[in-house]
Amino acid sequence: MSDTSHDHLTLLGRAAPLPKDPASAKLERIPNRAGQTNYVVRLTCPEFTSVCPLTGQPDFAHIVIDYVPGDWLVESKSFKLLMASYRNHGAFHEECTMDIAGRLVALLSPVWLRIGAYWFPRGGIPIDVFWQSGSPPDAAWIPAQDVPMYRGRG
C-alpha cells in the first residue's frame, strides 16, 4: 500500500456530477489502515435502479455487498456515484450485478467479496444474482444478508 494521502481522490470534497453511465463513473479507493485484520465492510444499496436493455422499463434491486478488505477500501462517494450511474443504463440483472462486483474486485483486490442482488420482479419473476470471490477467511464474521426473498402474495 503506497498511497498514504488522499491527494489522488478526485471526487471526495468536491462537486461531482452524476456520471452519464457506469463506464464513465470513476471508482476510487482509500488505504485500509487496519490491513492486517480480517473484518467485513458492508455496502448496501436498497434502491438500485437500472433499465431493461430491450424494453427500457425500470428495474429495481436491493444490492448488498460484503467484502473483507486487503490494502484498500472503496471511497464511498465514488461508490454512490457508480451505483447512481446505472439509473439510465440498459443492462440485464446479471450484467449489472457482475459489473459492480468486477469493478470492486479489480479496484480493491479484496481478501474476499460477495454480492447479493435481490431484484424486484418484472413479469412476475424475480431474478436474484449472487456471487462471491471464494471462501471467506476463517477469522472474519460474515453476517447474513437478511434480505427477504420475494414470496409473492401472502
Q: Are 107 and 141 in contact (CB under 8 A)?
A: no
Which of 7, 21, 45, 52 is an active site residue?
52
45 among known catalytic residues:
no
Residue 30 near residue 72 (C-beta atoms within 8 A): yes
Active-site residue, 59 included: yes
Q: Which residues contact 30 (CB under 8 A, 6 or more apart)?
A: 3, 6, 9, 72, 73, 74, 75
Residue 98, burial from CB neighbour count under 10 angstroms (0-12, 13-18, 19+) = middle
Residue written as cell 468486477? 102
Among candidate residues 3, 21, 59, 146, the one labeled active-site is 59
> What is the set of active-site residues?
52, 59
